A and B are shown apart, each in its own frame.
Chain A
Amino acid sequence: MSTHRITVTVNRTTHEAAVSSRISLADFLRDQLGYTGTHLACEHGVCGSCTVVVDGRAVRSCLILAAQVDGRMVLTLEGLAESGRLHPIQQALLDHHGFQCGFCTPGVAMSLYELFQRNPDPADDEVEGYLSGCLCRCTGYGGIRRSVAALRANAAHGEERIRGQAD
C-alpha cells in the first residue's frame, strides 16, 4: 500500500500530510484533519452526505482519494461561516428548518454552495437536480426547498449575495 505526501488547502488553511493510498478524502478530512462536519453514510456515492466542494465543484468525498486532492482547494461545511457569521446558506437552512435531523445537511449545504456560486437564481429544474443528489431520510424536503426559495429571493433583491471563493 503506497503512501503519498500531499499539500491541500482546506477551508483556506494549507495542510501538508502523508496519506495512505486507500484513504478517501472523507476519512482524511474527518480522521486526519478533524473536520467532522463532513458526514459519511452510504460510502458509495448514493446519499450525498459527504459532499464537499473541490476547486469550486461539489463532489462526493467518499469517492475521491485523499491522494487525489494534492494541490487542490477543498471547502467543507466548517469553511462556510466567516468571522463568526453564518454563511447565507446556513442562515437560510436555519431560518426555514432545512436542517431537520442534520445528518444530510453538510451535503445539502455544500451542494447548494456550488449551485448558488454558479447561478444566484437557479431554475427549479437545476435546484431539483442538485437536491436529488442529497438523500434526506427525514424524507421532508419542504424545509430544504423553503431555504432554497429564501436564497433565491435574497439573490433577486440583491440583499445577501452568496459569498465564497471563485471557481
Chain B
Amino acid sequence: MKPPPFDLHRPESLEAALELRDRHGDEAKLLAGGQSLMPLLNMRLVRPSYLIDLNRVAELSHITMQDGRVRIGAMTRQRVIENSAELASHVPLLTDATRHIAYPQIRNQGTIGGSVSHADPAADLLPVLIALGAELTLRSTNGGERYVPVQDFLTGYLGTIIAPQEILTAVTIPLRTDVPYQYGFAKYARHRGALAIANAAVVVRQAPAGSYLAASVTVGGIGPKPATFDLTDRFTSCTRGDTAALGRAARHAADAVADQVEAEADALVSEEFRRQTCAVVCEQALRQALLGKGIEFEGVQQ
C-alpha cells in the first residue's frame, strides 16, 4: 500500500505556499499533519499530482490571545493544543475534546487545520468548534482573506467550501467574557481513540439569578455534518444545583435531539443504534455541563 506518484513541494512561507496553490489549483492537495491525507494516499483514494507540504510554514503554527479572541494557527499540532495551559483556562472545551482525538502518537502530528479541512463528520473537533462559535480564516494570493464560521465551511462528508487557490490559515474562537459558561463533551466509539459513532459538545450560559440564559448542543458523527440544537427553552426554568430536575431535563432534551437528527447507518452500526447513541452522548455532555461533573469555566476578564 504505497501512495501514487506525486511531486512534493515544501514551501517555507505562507506566501510561497499560496503561490504554489495558485499555480497548481485542483491538481494539488495541501499536506498538514498527514494523519488523514496520508492514509488516503496510501490507499490511493486520492491521486493528486502535487502535494504542498505546509509543515515548514512556521507562521501557521501559533496560539495568540488578542481582543477577546484566541487565534490558533492552522498548523498548530493537536498535542500542543491539548497541553496549552492558556487554552485550558480560556477554552477548556477545546483542550478536553482534543484529548479524545485518536492517540497521542497521532495528535503529535495531527493539526487543528488539517482536521477541520478533512471534514470527516465524525471528527471530534468539528462539533466543539461549532459550539464555540469558531471562525476560519481562508487566505488566497494578493492578501485576499475571508472569514467563515465552521458550520458554513462544511458542506457534507469530507466536503468544504474552500477554493482551490485558498489555504486555511487560522481558527479564531471568541472568548466568553460576560457571564459564566459551562461546557460538556462526550463521545462514543468502539474503543478508545477510534472515530466517534456519535459525539456531542454542549455550551450552557448561566443566568445571574441562578438559572440559565442559553443552552445548546452540537452533535457529530450522526450525518454528513454536525448539527446544532438550541435547548435554551428546556433549561431557563431550571434552578442551578437542582440535580434531580436538571438530570431529568437533560434526559428529555437529549431524547428530543435524538428524535430530530438525521442518523445514518454505516458498516458499523444501524441508523437506530446511531440515533440512540446520539441520545446517550447528548445526555452525558449535558450532565457534564449542568451538573458540574465535567469541565467548568468561570469566564475571562478582558
Contact = CB atoms under 8 A, between A and B. Distances in A.
Interface of A: 1-2, 4, 21-22, 24, 27, 43-45, 48, 51, 57-60, 62-65, 67-68, 70, 111, 114-115, 128-130, 132-133
B192 A45 contact: no
Contacts of B43: 44
A92 to B, nearest CB: 19
A67 B7 CA distance: 11
12 contacts: A22-B41, A27-B2, A44-B42, A57-B108, A60-B35, A63-B34, A63-B35, A63-B39, A64-B109, A65-B38, A129-B99, A129-B193
A16 B231 CA distance: 60
B159 interface: no
Interface of A, helix, strand, loop or mixed by DSSP: mixed
Q: Is the interface of B mostly helix, strand, loop or mixed?
A: loop
Contacts of A58: 104-105, 108
B8 A21 contact: yes
Contacts of A57: 79, 108-109
Contacts of B102: 133
A70 B1 CA distance: 23
Given A22-B6, A51-B105, 11 more contacts: A2-B7, A21-B6, A22-B2, A44-B39, A45-B35, A59-B105, A60-B35, A65-B34, A111-B105, A114-B105, A132-B191
A60 B39 CA distance: 11
Contacts of B8: 2, 4, 21-22, 65, 67
Nearest to B53: A68
Given A44-B1, A44-B42, A1 B103 contact: no
